């Protein structure tokens, strides 16, 4: 009788389930809708190396930047298995991720916190990750309904007005066309008698260049991401503020997650804690660097007046009730007020937790210890 070779024997054993999955390597596809060389690109690069390291080489990642799926296509691509992982921006899909979007939408309330919005993106990333992982079964169920699993959040620094010309008063805002990226900023624009304009991130350069919009409401870190230095003449810094935080920094296809071993899932959680930190820290650092570059290039840096700030705080206070009512009536979110209040307590907690953080490595350690390490890879998403 001919004896099977060792290679054939191992192949048969694997097919029969005799070799544990933990001994099998997996190559995961990661779709990023951001351009190569961007802050997100650098963060995903660090994630890729960390995952390979903590998994002992069992998990590797192939990153597709603007070549596989764009940001609007990513959720469906993950759902249908076109990619294993990707960056999901939930505000693009208000009905699909109502609970996540509701707490993301209260981001302007960071202006009401003691100390204001300093490092708001780092605070929001921690609070969103903790809320979704540990406190919001409805959020997790919404992702599961899209055949996805949430593996961490990310957020931008405080939003500013990136404008063609100086905006230094409430009067100067009247009639301006403002590109906004979320419902809260659209409502704010209307409250100051400006016109909110919906426009994808890939259209902002042309919109500002051609005067279709007067200002874009977004973080200064994105000046370099989308090459906006060429079309921005003045920046109203950290006004109206709030952060973009409806981000699944590394959502994974649910079937892919379930195909991995406990060890591999644990490695992914450890690596995605690093990704969340690198993503948000990179944007925070990028904002500081870009504001300096803008100044050197002759772009004006304008700061909100006391009257602008007071009007802003009044809007934010009233808008919290609007958000709760809207999500309750339109999307059926139950106890919306209580959930928002609970989340805002998490924001206060995280403001203290990241107060002394000095690097992305320290930030990743805080995220790991406070949130990601508390997610059980033997039960989460299974």
What residue ranges do the domains of the chain occupy? 20-156+245-295+334-374, 160-242+300-313
Q: What is the pTM of this model?
A: 0.89
Dihedral sign, Cα of residue 201, residue 192, residue 159, residue 348: negative
DSSP code of residue 69 = -
In the structure, what pLDDT confidence band is assigned to residue 181 with cuts at 50, 70 and 90?
confident
Supply 36's token pair. 């190569």
Helix (H) or strand (E) holding 249: strand 247-253
Same CATH fold, 160-242+300-313 and 20-156+245-295+334-374? yes
| Overall average pLDDT of the 133-149 stretch | 98
Q: Which CATH code is given to the segment(s) 20-156+245-295+334-374?
A: 3.40.190.170
Helix (H) or strand (E) holding 251: strand 247-253
Q: Is the pLDDT of residue 223 over 70?
A: yes
Separation between Cα atoms, residue 305 and residue 303, nearest integer Å: 6
- 54 CA to centre of own chain: 23
Supply 363's token pair. 């930030």
What class does CATH assign to 160-242+300-313? alpha beta
CB 136, CB 90: distance < 8 Å: no
| Overall average pLDDT of the 296-302 stretch | 97
DSSP code of residue 134 = I
Percent over 70 (pLDDT), the chain: 93
Separation between Cα atoms, residue 92 and residue 72, nearest integer Å: 7
- 323 CA to centre of own chain: 20
Q: Is the peptide bond before 138 cis (omega within 30 degrees of 0)?
A: no
Helices (H) and strands (E) in the chain, counts: 15, 11
- pLDDT one-digit tens code per residue, 360-372: 999 999 999 999 9
Q: Is the pLDDT of residue 12 over 70?
A: no
| Overall average pLDDT of the 118-133 stretch | 96
């Amino acid at each position: 009788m001919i004896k099977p070779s060792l290679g054939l024997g191992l192949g048969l054993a694997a097919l029969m389930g005799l070799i544990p999955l933990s001994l099998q390597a997996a190559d995961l596809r990661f779709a990023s809708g951001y351009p190569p060389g961007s802050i997100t690109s650098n963060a995903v690069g660090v994630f890729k190396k960390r995952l390979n390291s903590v998994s002992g080489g069992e998990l590797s990642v192939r990153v597709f930047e603007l070549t596989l799926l764009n940001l609007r296509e990513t959720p469906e691509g993950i759902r249908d298995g076109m990619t294993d992982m990707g960056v999901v921006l939930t505000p693009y899909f208000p009905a699909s991720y109502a609970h996540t979007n509701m707490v993301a939408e209260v981001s302007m309330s960071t202006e009401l916190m003691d100390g204001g919005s300093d490092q708001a993106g780092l605070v929001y990333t921690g609070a969103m990750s903790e809320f979704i992982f540990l406190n919001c079964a409805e959020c997790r169920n919404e992702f599961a309904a899209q055949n996805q699993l949430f593996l961490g959040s990310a957020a931008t620094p405080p939003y500013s007005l990136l404008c063609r010309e100086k905006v230094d008063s409430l009067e100067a805002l009247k009639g301006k066309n403002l590109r906004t990226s979320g419902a809260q900023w659209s409502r704010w624009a209307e409250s100051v008698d400006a016109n909110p304009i919906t426009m994808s991130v890939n259209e902002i350069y042309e919109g500002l260049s051609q005067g279709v919009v007067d200002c874009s409401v977004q973080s200064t870190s994105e000046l370099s991401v989308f090459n906006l230095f060429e079309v921005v003449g003045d920046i109203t810094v950290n006004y109206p503020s709030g952060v973009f935080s409806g981000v699944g920094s590394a959502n994974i296809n649910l079937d892919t997650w379930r195909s991995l071993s406990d060890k591999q899932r644990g490695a992914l959680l450890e690596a995605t804690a690093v990704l969340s930190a690198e993503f948000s820290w990179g944007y925070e650092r990028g904002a500081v660097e870009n504001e300096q570059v803008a100044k050197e290039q002759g772009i004006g840096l304008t700061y909100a007046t006391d009257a602008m700030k007071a009007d802003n705080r009044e809007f934010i206070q009233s808008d919290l009730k609007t958000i709760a009512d809207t999500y309750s009536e339109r999307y059926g979110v139950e106890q919306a007020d209580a959930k928002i209040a609970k989340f805002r307590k998490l924001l206060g907690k995280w403001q203290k937790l990241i107060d002394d953080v000095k690097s992305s490595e320290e930030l990743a350690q805080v995220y790991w210890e406070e949130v990601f390490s508390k997610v059980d890879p033997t039960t989460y998403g299974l």
